[in-house]
Amino acid sequence: MRMILFFDLPVEKSEQQKAYRNFVKNIKKNGFYMLQKSVYVKMGIDMQVVDSTIAKVKKICPKEGDISILTITEKQFAGIELILGNKVTDVINGDERIIEL
């Protein structure tokens, strides 16, 4: 499963900019990586991990702005069609799972 986190945070005032930086730093610490500006992605093995991650994000939310999380399957995530830009992803195209030890 993939969690796609979308956010739109105000950055007009210095305290808002600090809240933005802290939020981004904390979501990265929680395993999210940037897909696009204000769009971050994290893999979750099962719904328990997804629910736990959502609870953590709720705890680190700034006071202002909009934050959403969409959970999709790996197959749906692999089906994202790139229209413009460079495709940088860790998705293996296909339904196979590879485990390296």
User: To which H or E segment does residue 22 belong?
Assistant: helix 14-29
Which range is least confidently modeled, 15-19, 75-79, 93-97?
A: 93-97
CA distance 11 to 21: 10
Q: Does residue 88 surpass a pLDDT of 80?
A: no
Predicted model pTM: 0.81
Using the structure block, give the residue that is written with the tokens 């994290």. Answer: 42
By the 8 A CB rule, do 3 and 41 touch? yes
CA distance 84 to 53: 30
Domains for the chain: give ranges and CATH numbers: 2-78 (3.30.70.240)
CA distance 41 to 76: 13
